[in-house]
Amino acid sequence: MHDNYLFLGNPGTGKSTLINCLVGRQVFDSGLSYGAGLTQFFQKFKCNGKVYMDTPGLADRSIKERAAAAITQALRQSGSYKLFFMVRLENGRVVSDDLATIETVLDSIDMDDIPFSIVVNNMKKRQYAAMMKKGAEFFKVVALINACKYTTPYITFIPTIDCLDESDNEIVKLPQEVETFLHYKAPAIVIPPKQVQEIKLDNFKALVDDLSDELELLRKDNAALKRRVEKLLRKPKFFETLLSAVGTTMSSVLEFSAKNAFNLATGVLTGDLTGVICGVLQLLQQ
């Protein structure tokens, strides 16, 4: 059984560029596009026993019905799936269209507890550095990314790579921690084709608006943000998986662990992460 690497996201999220860099050559057109995205149909490319799949974005209004059909087609292939949803941070804010895509696509799969990954691509260097410190900003972004009804601790952050901004169809070597995440840490699942329903777009715009309101609430209401973070961290293995999955340097993990050594040790021994949660919530108050 082969592995399908299915990349889902809206125009401008860098799906095609990321796949080209993973494969090591241009297999899909990528670059700057004004208006409609460059990807118009379901595309796939097989390399080293893996099938890389590129799909158009549901938020691309000019082709949204075609995009929905293309994603449905992609989900009905044989093999196991790694689902990678591309999420943007614009001026530090999560884009609600991207979260609406996650919810709409996963709603079409008639299965429980579908594992999936989130790729936050093209982060400004200062934003990326803040994520790697595992401080308050990191947990805020994790909470915002998980603002829709489906949540995941499998998140990776990719910093802006200058040469990719300068020309179309450019290929670079991805950071090692990103490749490790995509190939080895991201979860996989077998999706029987009969479990995939046609993607419905009737409520997509309303969903985008609702998620935009929820994101705004989390940004402005620190109490609501803390409740969201606590709810996430109380999910089984969420905290441990999150720290393991996120591409990071050993020094930042050691720094976080040193500050929370007692709480971490107690949590590992007892399975009770109350102390860690308290430590994270204290970070959010600073």
Confidence of residue 281 (pLDDT cuts 50, 70, 90): low
The tokens of 116 are what? 């999936």
Map out the domains of the chain as residue ranges.
Answer: 3-207, 221-285
Examine the pLDDT at 91 and tell me if it is beyond 90.
no
Confidence of residue 135 (pLDDT cuts 50, 70, 90): confident
How far apart CA 23 and CA 56 sit, in angstroms, is 19
Pairing between β-strand 117-123 and β-strand 43-47 as defined by DSSP bridges = unpaired
6-16: pLDDT as tens digits = 999 988 788 88
Residue 233 is predicted with a pLDDT of 85
Q: Which of 87, 103, 88, 57 is nearest to 203 (CA)?
A: 103
Phi, psi of 129 (to 5 degrees): -60, -40
Residue type, 172: V
H/E run at residue 257 = helix 250-259
Which CATH number applies to 3-207?
Answer: 3.40.50.300
204-256: pLDDT as tens digits = 999 999 999 999 999 999 899 989 988 998 898 888 888 888 754 444 444 55
Q: Which of 78, 159, 87 is nearest to 116 (CA)?
A: 87
How far apart CA 155 and CA 188 sit, in angstroms, is 14
pTM for the full predicted model: 0.85
